[in-house]
Amino acid sequence: MQKNETHNRFLIIGEVYTDVHLDIFESPLRLGGIFHSARAFSAINCNYAIAAIAPRFLNRSIEEYGQLLNAQKAVIVGEIDGAPNVITIQDSPENGNQGYNEILRDQSEITINQQKLNQIIKEYNPTDILIYPGKYNIEDILPALENFVGYLHIDVQYGVESLKRMISLGLNFHTIILSTSSTLFKENDFSVINLVNSPLIVNAKSLLLKENRGGSTYYDITTRIWYEAPAFKTETVHSVGVGDCFNAVFLSQKRQSKQEFALKIASYIAMLYASTLSFDTFKDLISNLDFNDVKNLPAKRLSWGERQKHHIYIAGPDFPDVDTRLIEELYDNLKYHNFTPHRPVLENGIITGCETEEKQHEAYQKDIALLEKSSLLIAVILNDDPGTYVEIGYMAKSGKPVIIFDPYKLVRNLFLKKSSDYIAHSMSEIVDIVFDLLGRQDSEAFEKYDALLLASGGLDSTVLAHKLLLEGKKVMPVFLRYGQHFTETEFNTLLDVLPPKLIPNIKVINIEDIYQHSQSRMIKEPDLWVDYVTADDLYLPYRNLLFLSIASSIAQTLGIQKVYSAFINSNHAKEIDCSKEFFDELSGMLSDYGSVKIEMPFRDYSKADVIKLGISLDVPLAQTYSCQANSTTPCGVCPNCVDRLDGFESL
Interface contacts to other proteins, rule CB under 8 A = 18, 24-31, 61, 65, 68-69, 232-235, 237, 268, 271-272, 275-281, 284-290, 293-300, 432, 436, 441-442, 445-447, 450, 469-474
With helix as H, strand as E and coil as C, how does 455-466 read?
CCCCHHHHHHHH
CA 597/CA 600 separation, integer angstroms? 10
Q: How far is the CB of 42 from other proteins (least distance, A)?
A: 10
Instruction: Between 20 and 545, name the residue whose CB sits nearer to other proteins.
Output: 20
Instruction: Between 296 and 534, name the residue whose CB sits nearer to other proteins.
Output: 296
Q: How far is the CB of 536 from other proteins (least distance, A)?
A: 42
Which DSSP symbol is given to 183?
Answer: H
Q: How far is the CB of 238 from other proteins (least distance, A)?
A: 8
Instruction: Between 263 and 327, name the residue whose CB sits nearer to other proteins.
Output: 263
Instruction: Between 441 and 633, name the residue whose CB sits nearer to other proteins.
Output: 441
Instruction: Between 77 and 272, name the residue whose CB sits nearer to other proteins.
Output: 272
Q: How far is the CB of 288 from other proteins (least distance, A)?
A: 4
Strands 216-220 and 225-229, by their bridges, are: antiparallel
Which DSSP symbol is given to 28?
Answer: P
Q: Are 531 and 565 in contact (CB under 8 A)?
A: no
At 133, the amino acid letter reads: P
Q: How far is the CB of 207 from other proteins (least distance, A)?
A: 26
- Which residues have C-beta within 8 Å of that of residue 304, sequence separation ≥ 6? 180, 190, 192, 209, 211, 214, 338
Q: How far is the CB of 272 from other proteins (least distance, A)?
A: 6
What are the angstrom distances between the C-alpha of 353 and each of 321, 356, 360, 361?
16, 8, 8, 11
Instruction: Between 280 and 357, name the residue whose CB sits nearer to other proteins.
Output: 280
CA 240/CA 498 separation, integer angstroms? 46
CA 600/CA 310 separation, integer angstroms? 39
Q: How far is the CB of 9 from other proteins (least distance, A)?
A: 23
How many other β-carbons are positioned within 10 Å of the β-carbon of residue 167? 19
How many other β-carbons are positioned within 10 Å of the β-carbon of residue 356? 8
Q: How far is the CB of 446 from other proteins (least distance, A)?
A: 5
CA 473/CA 463 separation, integer angstroms? 14
Q: How far is the CB of 433 from other proteins (least distance, A)?
A: 8
- Alpha helices (runs of H) in 513-625, residue ranges in sequence order: 543-558, 580-592, 607-616
Instruction: Between 38 and 141, name the residue whose CB sits nearer to other proteins.
Output: 38
What are the angstrom distances between the C-alpha of 331 and each of 190, 213, 478?
19, 17, 40
CA 88/CA 101 separation, integer angstroms? 5
Q: How far is the CB of 281 from other proteins (least distance, A)?
A: 6
Helix, coil or strand: residue 272? helix
CA 167/CA 203 separation, integer angstroms? 9
**Residues pairing with 340 in the sheet:** 311
Helix, coil or strand: residue 23? coil
Q: Are 179 and 157 in contact (CB under 8 A)?
A: yes
**Residues pairing with 313 in the sheet:** 342, 377
Instruction: Between 441 and 632, name the residue whose CB sits nearer to other proteins.
Output: 441
Instruction: Between 27 and 591, name the residue whose CB sits nearer to other proteins.
Output: 27
Instruction: Between 271 and 551, name the residue whose CB sits nearer to other proteins.
Output: 271
Q: How far is the CB of 224 from other proteins (least distance, A)?
A: 30
Instruction: Between 155 and 429, name the residue whose CB sits nearer to other proteins.
Output: 429
At 582, the amino acid letter reads: F
Q: How many residues does the chain have?
A: 651
Q: How far is the CB of 301 from other proteins (least distance, A)?
A: 10
Instruction: Between 29 and 390, name the residue whose CB sits nearer to other proteins.
Output: 29
Q: With CA atoms as reference, report the closest residue to 427 among 92, 100, 48.
A: 92
